[in-house]
Amino acid sequence: MVSDPYLGKYTTCISARSTDREILKKAQDGGIATTLMVYALEEGIIDGVIVAGEGDLPWKPRPFVAMSRKDILKAQKAKYNISPQISWIKEATRSFGLDKVGVTGVCCQIQAVRKAQLYPINMRDVPGKIAFVVGLFCMENFLYDSIQAIVEDHTNQSLSSVKKMRIGKGKFQVYTERGNVATAPLQATHKYGQPGCYVCLDYVSNLGDISTGSVGSPDGWSTVFVRTRVGNDIWSKAVDAGLFETKPIEEVKPGLELVMKLAKIKLDGNRKTLEERRNFGVNKALRDPYA
Amino acid sequence: MEATKEAKPVANKIKLGHVHFSGCTGCLVSVADIYQGLLKILDDYADLVYALTLVDVRHIPEMDVALVEGSVCIQDRESVEDIKETRKKSRIVVALGSCATYGNITRFCRGGQHNQPQHESFLPIGDLIDVDVYIPGCPPSPELIRNVTVMAYLFLEGNEEQKALAGRYLKPLMALAKRGTTGCFCDLMNDVINQGLCIGCGTCAASCPVRAITHEFGKPQGDLNLCVKCGSCYGACPRSFFNFDVIPEFESISELIADALR
Ligand SMILES: Cc1cc2nc3c(=O)[nH]c(=O)nc-3n(C[C@H](O)[C@H](O)[C@H](O)COP(=O)(O)OP(=O)(O)OC[C@H]3O[C@@H](n4cnc5c(N)ncnc54)[C@H](O)[C@@H]3O)c2cc1C
Ligand code: SF4
Ligand code: SF4
Ligand code: SF4
């Protein structure tokens, strides 16, 4: 077990991608999140999972409880704006009647799940019914109007023509259905970030059973941290079942070094923001949720 | 069957009590809904020394932990005396549920009903006595009541390591008790969104018992006429408190609690 102040606790870190062609076709990266949840559903490890599906506007996510492979696949791809995943966590155990709930989401949403498990405040039944949690890496998130401004103004594309968005190599990249690629420098997107993200102290979903992201692995592959006993159990069974191609993280470029570098940039930067909040006014501080 | 008494009482059980003020007994039902876990707690860790619903003890005795349900009607002299007596007789006072912590639905009371039309003013217990620990929620989650009870036992009777862990666990619930006696959707506006802390996670909407919260473009939207002022949403929000010395240990702490109740 590794315990790292920036990358959290984990037993293994690998580079991986799904062997399921249908899933890979539409995956954001290696299709890890989707493949794991489909596997967990088919094995009876979960009986439903909260995912970020399509909303009522192009690229606006809508969280929902998926209970079939088909529905889990509807949530493929990263939507770079807020999807209040946890709003379904109690309902999943009520009208949906689930006993073993799966959750996907970014770091802060996984933190919310763990808080609900240890300090359930009006969250009856939730602590014991969380069965499997897959967290995504997350540098920051955007508001819907921000994503609209970035895509429509900065990259000059129509949101409804976009097939995929990616953040990488210092750029916000937009791929359209008809094959165009447009980018905006990441610098230009910073003013659009969700303010609450600037006090976030987690980059690689430290509290997931398994966490995954794109950074560190080549295009089409994912970096994966296997963390808890639940995560280890599911990961080893899924690999044995032939669901993933894997490579030791040490053998891929840019590898763990870049993950660590970005984690440091995020956490150190946000610690500084928290420090500044302590002297934000004159003899007045802004609130610190971690105090 | 012959009634049997414990031949040799388990050593060092703590004295637990349930004190009922202006509540609905739903909090006590939540205690009972710990199910087998409650029996285990009563077998090994705590004696239920007072609970008018369950035990034939008429007057408030000495307690290590008092679980206090309901708010206090200040026009009812007996209630006012009882809450003071509860503080005097208890080492740890826990405000159990949203009426005791924040007033909850009794915030809307204004008297004028038979046959005590003058019973019009109800206060959360923290406005009358010092409260040590809050368990917010309407209803409070059985799992949280269970955790607090086990942790209170470890805090009072555990070894040094267990005491330290229990202290860390209880700290944010003690901080909530220090923070104040009002709960509302507005907490999310005043202390989360207005403070630049909201991340649109959706937790508040899940915790709200009356579905007063939806999310518009990722941010909480409250229907204040639906809100019953239970304070759950703020308590559940990961940006009210998030204690890094406890929550990341979710795996081992969950196991510890499960083991204690096995
Ligand atoms: C806001 C955001 C920021 C990110 N930042 C980084 C980063 O800085 N570095 C990095 O390496 N990776 C980042 N990622 C993760 C990365 O983009 C991929 O989501 C991740 O690698 C999963 O790929 P996959 O092929 O396994 O997922 P897929 O199999 O394609 O499945 C997508 C999964 O993402 C979930 N999801 C999609 N959008 C959202 C959303 N808005 N909120 C919550 N869950 C969502 C879906 O529920 C689904 O489970 C970010 C993702 C998001 C949503
Ligand atoms: S940066 Fe942190 S707070 Fe913001 S969306 Fe990502 S995980 Fe959540
Ligand atoms: S729980 Fe807190 S952080 Fe999450 S959406 Fe509600 S107010 Fe925002
Ligand atoms: S909005 Fe809902 S959870 Fe929040 S205080 Fe009101 S009733 Fe309680």
**Average pLDDT of chain A?**
97
Where residue B195 sits, what CATH number does that domain have?
Answer: 3.30.70.20
Asked whether residue B1 is domain-assigned, the answer is: no
What is the number of structural domains in chain B?
A: 2
**Structural domain that includes position B50:** 14-181+243-261
What is the Cα A112 distance to its own chain's centre?
Answer: 13
Q: Please name the residue ranges forming H helices in chain A.
A: 21-26, 32-42, 69-73, 107-118, 126-129, 144-148, 186-189, 229-240, 256-278
Same domain, B26 and B110: yes
Same domain, B138 and B251: yes
Question: In A, residues 79-98, which contact B (CB 8 Å cutoff)?
Answer: 81-91
Q: What is the pLDDT of residue B10?
A: 60
Same domain, B128 and B253: yes
Position A270 pLDDT exceeds 70: yes
Asked whether residue B9 is domain-assigned, the answer is: no
CB A197 within 8 A of CB B199: yes
Asked whether residue B156 is domain-assigned, the answer is: yes
Q: What mean pLDDT comes out for the span A75-83?
A: 98
Same domain, B232 and B250: no
Asked whether residue B3 is domain-assigned, the answer is: no
Q: Give dist(CA A109, CA A126) in Å, integer.
A: 14
Out of B101, B184, B186, B187, give the residue to mutate to test ligand 4, the one with the largest number of ligand atoms within 8 Å of its CB. B184
pLDDT in tens, B13-31: 999 999 999 999 999 999 9
A227: burial class by Cβ within 10 Å (0-12, 13-18, 19+)?
buried
Question: In A, residues 94-123, which contact B (CB 8 Å cutoff)?
Answer: 105, 108-109, 111-112, 114-123
CB within 8 Å: B218 and A144: yes
Q: What is the pLDDT of residue B1?
A: 53
Q: What mean pLDDT comes out for the span A32-52?
A: 98
Asked whether residue B56 is domain-assigned, the answer is: yes
Which position has the token pair 């990341």? B248
Q: Give dist(CA A164, CA A177) in Å, integer.
A: 8
Same domain, B151 and B189: no
- Single pTM value for the model: 0.97
In chain A the domains, ranked by start, together with CATH numbers, are: 2-141+194-279 (3.40.640), 143-193 (3.10.450.750)
Q: Which residue of A has its CA nearest to B151?
A: A118
Is residue B167 within 6 Å of ligand 3 at its C-beta?
A: no
Same domain, B135 and B192: no
Confidence of residue B232 (pLDDT cuts 50, 70, 90): very high
Confidence of residue B109 (pLDDT cuts 50, 70, 90): very high
Q: Does B239 touch chain A (CB under 8 A)?
A: yes
Same domain, B26 and B88: yes
Same domain, B140 and B218: no
Same domain, B74 and B46: yes
- ipTM score of the complex? 0.97
- Closest CB to A144 among B139, B217, B246: B217
Q: What is the pLDDT of residue B214?
A: 98
Q: What mean pLDDT comes out for the span B194-203?
A: 98
Asked whether residue B65 is domain-assigned, the answer is: yes
Asked whether residue B7 is domain-assigned, the answer is: no
Asked whether residue B6 is domain-assigned, the answer is: no
Position B8 pLDDT exceeds 60: no
**Average pLDDT of chain B?**
96
Position B58 pLDDT exceeds 70: yes
Position A95 pLDDT exceeds 60: yes
Position B206 pLDDT exceeds 70: yes
Q: Does B96 touch chain A (CB under 8 A)?
A: no
- Alpha-carbon distances, residue A51 vs A29, A199, A287, A288 (angstroms): 16, 24, 31, 30
CB A42 within 8 A of CB A241: no
Same domain, B32 and B156: yes
Q: How far is the CA of B130 from the centre of ligand 1 (A)?
A: 46
Same domain, B204 and B123: no
Residue numbers in A near B219 (CB within 8 A): 82
Same domain, B101 and B207: no
